[in-house]
Amino acid sequence: MLICDQAIREEGTGKVSLIGIFEKIQADKFPMAHLGLAVYAKVTDALGDYDVSLDLVRLDDLQLLGQGQAHATVTDRLTPAEFVFHLGFLEFERPGRYEFRLSANGQHVAGKTFDVILLEQAPPVEGD
């Protein structure tokens, strides 16, 4: 799984381009709103119909902050399945470690942690 600013699936080829992959969100104050991001997951050894969910969890207290759901059908076990979740407006009350958790038919498949941190303001530089 990867977290990025944007994920674009090309119409002709079906290829996915990931723009701005990151593992840290910086905020100058809290609470802070993140206007949007994408979560990309590539899953192997799957076959059949799946109810897929993506949960956003704050790890220090295991608070569920959001959840998205989708349905997917995988027709070839030998071909990896790709999932792209586009998420808009996420609000973070405080800094800390967070995790996106991917589940299929109620079973945990993968997780991706990331940090939300307070941006340290550099002291002003005095001129000559």
124 domain residue, yes or no: no
95 domain residue, yes or no: yes
Distance CA 92, CA 117 (A): 10
128 domain residue, yes or no: no
125 domain residue, yes or no: no
Res 120: pLDDT: 79
10 domain residue, yes or no: yes
102 domain residue, yes or no: yes
Range of the domain at 99: 2-118
46 domain residue, yes or no: yes
Res 121: pLDDT: 61
What six digits make up the tokens of 83? 């999932």
What is the enclosing helix (H) or strand (E) of 125? none
**What's the total number of domains in the chain?**
1
Q: Are the beta carbons of 107 and 53 closer than 8 angstroms?
A: no
Res 18: pLDDT: 98
Query: What does the pLDDT profile of the chain (128 residues) look like in tens digits?
Result: 999 999 999 999 999 999 999 999 999 999 999 999 999 999 999 999 999 999 999 999 999 999 999 999 999 999 999 999 999 999 999 999 999 999 999 999 999 999 999 987 656 666 54
CATH of the domain at 44: 2.60.40.10
Res 65: pLDDT: 94
Res 22: pLDDT: 97
Q: Are the beta carbons of 101 and 111 closer than 8 angstroms?
A: yes
Query: Dihedral angle at the C-alpha atoms of 43, 47, 49, 50, nearest 10 degrees?
Result: -30
63 domain residue, yes or no: yes
Distance CA 34, CA 31 (A): 10
Res 50: pLDDT: 96
